[in-house]
Amino acid sequence: MKKQENQNEQVDLISLIEELLKIQFPKSYRQFLIEKAPTEVAGFRILGLPEGKTEKKVPIKKSHVDKDSLFYIPPVEKPELPDLEELKEALRLIKERKISASEAREIIERRKMISKLSVLEASKILRKRRPDLPENLVAISFHSLKDKVLCLDLRHNPEEDCPLVETTLKSQTKLIPISDSFEEWIKEWEEKEKGNERFLAARQRVANRREEVERARGREFSHQPIKRFFCFY
């Protein structure tokens, strides 16, 4: 009963977002919003519904739309100490990408901001930054490093499913086709990720078995009598 009530609330929220954006989501994306979003697919965080109550007017922070980059990170007088996982991720980024500590912090902060966005807020940011684009493009993901935006292409008012296109927040950037079907794109990447998980699990089993064999050999060697060799000159 509670699950059904929650789904009804989600359906109402989806209808409200459609009204605010003046678009109509295809069936495949509506179902995705109810069942899966937000989630990670192919390195993109596919955005979901807003958390909490959504009013007719959704405020967008000035820093989101007036700066050159997607997310402006203002200086803070008393920054909060990052947790251990954030420090580990910062060190990994510094090592792998050969970047400074401040650049690593900016990437992490962008990721945190993106994780708090909904499809409604993201689409409003896209419209503000790219007035040259048609308004029936719906932003469903921002890339935290490359300033890329993944969009549903609703220009032909699809009912069941829709194409996916990619662009950036830079003016006059062309639309790049990604897939003819949002639903098929999701399924394809889910299958790839399942295959990767199976491969990683199999590789881990092989590594564990190798460690067991090496430990067994070590024990066998430690129980062997020590042979002494004497040299006579």
- 225 assigned to some structural domain: no
Q: What is the pLDDT of residues 186-201, one digit of tens each?
A: 999 888 877 766 666 6
- 231 assigned to some structural domain: no
Q: Report the domain count for the chain.
A: 1
- 217 assigned to some structural domain: no
Which of 112-126, 165-179, 190-204 has the highest average model confidence (pLDDT)? 165-179
CB proximity list for 119: less than 8 A, separation 6 or greater: 17, 33, 37, 47, 48, 49, 138, 139, 140
Domain that holds residue 43: 2-180
- 226 assigned to some structural domain: no
Q: Residues 152, 164: contact at Cβ < 8 Å?
A: yes
pLDDT of residue 113: 66
Mean pLDDT score of the chain, rounded to an integer? 77
- 187 assigned to some structural domain: no
- 167 assigned to some structural domain: yes
Q: What is the pLDDT of residues 35-48, one digit of tens each?
A: 987 888 877 788 98
This prediction has a pTM of: 0.62
pLDDT of residue 87: 81
- 43 assigned to some structural domain: yes
- 213 assigned to some structural domain: no
> In whole angstroms, what is the distance from residue 143 CA to residue 169 CA?
11
